[in-house]
Amino acid sequence: MSLREACSTGCIRLLDWIWISSCTSVADRVPHWTLTNYLRSDRYYYHYQFTKSLEVAANRGDLEVVKWLVVHFSGCEAPASVVGAAVIKGHLSVVKYLWVHCRYISAECSKKRKVVDDKGQVLAEKRSEELIKHNAAGNRVCWGDRIVLLAAEHGHFDMVRWLCENTLGEEEKYYETYDKVMKHALRFGDDDLTKFLLPRGRCILDYAKKCPRLEVIELLLDCGYLRRDEEAAASAIRGLAAGGHLELMQQIALLHSPLREDYTHWGFNKLLDNWFMALVDSCKYGQLETVQWLHRYPICQRAIKLVKKDAYTTNPMTEAAGEGHWNVVQYLCEQKTAKDYDEPLERAIRNGHLKCVEIIIRHFLNTRQRPRTCPIDVAAKAGRLEVVQFFHNFNPQYQFNSELSGSDAGYDNGAKDAMDAAARAGHFDCVKWLHLNRQEGCSPYAMWSAAMRGQLPMVQWFHFIRAEEWAIQDMDWVARRGHLDVIKWLDANKLWRCSDYSAKEIYRNGPLRVASWLYNHYPEQTPVNLNGVLNTRRVEIFEMLLFLDVHSPQCINRQFAEDTGKFVLEYSLEMADGNCHILSWLKVKLPSMELPNYHYYP
C-alpha cells in the first residue's frame, strides 16, 4: 500500500506505521519488495508521495492527515491542485490551514496589483508582498489565482467570504475573475454576501445581466434595463422559465412585441437561442402552462422547426421525459414537436419513468413506427427491472387497443442482448430475472463483462449455469483492470491463462497488486522488455517504475523511458502536479534520455 492509498483511509496509526517502517537510506532497504524501501530513501518518490498524498487528504477534507503530512515531510512543494481539491469539496478548515501555514504564490500568479481609490479608480500598480508563508518543515503549497472563483462556482459561499476577507487585496476586486465571483454570488441568492463583495464604485446591476434569479430580474425590469436591451429581456425570459413565472415572462415579452422580423428568419442567433432554451428549461422542470405559452410563440415555433431539421442537439421532449414530467411529454406528443421520439423514449426508460414510457409508446403505435433500439435491452442496461417487466408483459392490443401485437410493434422481440447489457452494467438482479423469465439467454461476453467490472458473485453465478461456454483467453483484460479477487478465482478454476502480451501490459501499466501477484505465481512470464507496449494508466506510474527496477530492470531502457516521459508530459495538466518527479527519476536513471525541457526537481 502506498502512502497515498493509506491517506484515503484517514488512519493516522497506519500512516505512522508506514512512516516508521520506511527506510531512510538506500543502505537500510530490506531485500524483499516493498514500497517502504523508497518512501523516505528515494528523493523523487518522496516528493511525489507528498504531492499525491496531500491532494488525497485535501479532497477528503481530512485536516488531521493534512497536518500529519506537513509535519512529517520537509522541503516539499505541492501544486495549486491541492488547494483546488479542498475548495471544490468545500473543506474550509483545510483551506485555512494551507493558507496560514504553507501558502506559496508563484511569480506567474503574483501579477502587479492595482491601487484604487474609494470610487474604484486605478491610481497605481505595485507588486504583491508576503507571497510565501513557510512552516517549520519548509513545505509549501502553491496558491492559484482562481481559487475564489473555484469556490464560487461550486457554491461554497462561506469559503468565498473567508477567501475574500483573508487572501484578496481590495485592488483584486476589479479583475475579470472577481466579476465572475460576483455573478455567481448574485445568481445563487446570497444577498448579504453580494453586498459584502461589492467593490467600491460598483453597482449590483453591473453584474445582473443574464442572472436567472426572480428578484434580480424584477429589479432589471423596474429600472428599465430590460426595455432597453432586447437580448437581456430574452435572457430574463429564459431565466424565469424553469420556475414557471409565467406572468412576469409575459410582461417582459410585451416590452418587445412584436419581435423584430429578422429574428424569426431561418438561422441561429442569441435571441432565438434564449427563447428555445426557455422552452427546454420549462419542459425539464415540468412547467406545463409555461410550455404551452412558449410553444404558441412564433419564435419558439421557428426553433421547433430547427429541432426537426437537427439544427439543435437538445430535444425539449427528451428533457421532460428524463425528469418524468408525463403531462408535458403528453402535450408535446400531441403537438408533434419532435422529429425523433427514440431519444425521449430511451431517456425515460433509463431514468425509470414508466408513465412517460407508456405515453411515448402510444405515440409510436399511433404512427405505426418502431423504436430503433429494443426497449428491453435499454431497460436492462440501465438496471430498470420494473421497465423490463413492463415490456416483457406488454400487450398493445389489450393495453392500447392497437392492431399490432407486442412482437409486431418491435417491443417483445429482438431482446437478445438484454442479459449481456445488464451484465455489462453490473445489474445482477436484472440478469437473474431475465434468465428465469426470458428465452434469449446470453453470450460468453456476459461473464467477461461481469469479470471486467469486478463482479465476482455474478462471475461465479454465470460459471455455475453455463460453465462450458466461457473463453479463458478473453480474461486478460480483467487482469489489466486490477480485479485481483476475480483473477484469483479464475486462476483457481482454470478459467484464465495470462498471455505473454498481457503480462507485458500488466508489468507496464499495473495495477501494482496484480503485477506483484503475477510475479509471485508466474515468474516465468516476467518480460525481458516492454518496447512497443503503450501506457494506459496514470495512477501508479511511479510505483510500477520502482517495481520494474527491482524485478525486471532490463525493461527500463531508453525507449521505455522516453515513451513513459512522453506519456507523463501528455497527460499531466501541469508539470507541478507531482509527475515531474517521475521524469526526474527517469532522467537520473538514463541521463541520455531525450525529453522536452521542463523544471527538474533536485
Final residue belonging to a domain, choices 105, 120, 145:
145
Q: What is the pLDDT at residue 170?
A: 62
Task: Note whether residue 600 is domain-resident.
Answer: yes
CB under 8 Å, gap of 24 or more: what pairs does 530-537 form?
530/504, 530/555, 530/560, 531/557, 531/559, 531/560, 533/501, 533/504, 533/505, 533/508, 533/509, 534/508, 534/563, 535/508, 535/509, 535/563, 535/564, 535/567, 536/480, 536/505, 536/509, 537/509, 537/510, 537/511
Angstrom distances, CA of residue 502 to CA of 242, 476, 478: 52, 6, 10
Bridge-based pairing state of the strands 113-116 and 122-126: antiparallel
Q: What is the pLDDT at residue 400?
A: 57
Task: Note whether residue 556 is domain-resident.
Answer: yes
**Is 177 in contact with 148 (CB distance < 8 Å)?**
yes
pTM assigned to the model = 0.81
End-to-end CA distance of the chain: 26
User: Cell digits for 2?
Assistant: 502506498
Task: Note whether residue 181 is domain-resident.
Answer: no
Q: What is the pLDDT at residue 470?
A: 61
**Whole-number Å distance between alpha carbons of 533 and 548:** 14
Final residue belonging to a domain, choices 119, 145, 171:
145
Which domain, by its residues, includes 538?
500-602
Q: How many domains does the chain have?
A: 2
SS3 track for 547-561 = HHHHHCHHHCCHHHH
Task: Note whether residue 407 is domain-resident.
Answer: no
Q: What is the pLDDT at residue 282?
A: 96
Task: Note whether residue 384 is domain-resident.
Answer: no
Q: Which residue has the cell 435571441?
A: 271
Q: What is the pLDDT at residue 135?
A: 60
Task: Note whether residue 20 is domain-resident.
Answer: yes
Note the Cα 219 to chain centre separation in Å.
36
Task: Note whether residue 171 is domain-resident.
Answer: no
Final residue belonging to a domain, choices 145, 179, 198:
145
How many other CB atoms sit within 10 Å of the CB of residue 477? 13
Q: What is the pLDDT at residue 475?
A: 64
Residues 6+ apart with CB under 8 A from 4: 49, 52, 53, 56
DSSP-derived 3-state class of residue 152? helix
Angstrom distances, CA of residue 107 to CA of 80, 110, 128, 131, 480: 13, 5, 10, 9, 42
Mean pLDDT in order along the chain per 10 residues (602 residues): 94 96 93 92 94 95 96 91 94 94 65 44 43 67 87 90 82 70 82 81 82 90 90 92 94 84 56 90 96 90 80 87 96 87 93 94 80 89 93 72 52 71 92 89 83 90 74 66 88 80 83 89 84 67 89 85 76 60 85 60 42
Closest CA to 73 of 594, 580, 578, 565: 578
Task: Note whether residue 434 is domain-resident.
Answer: no
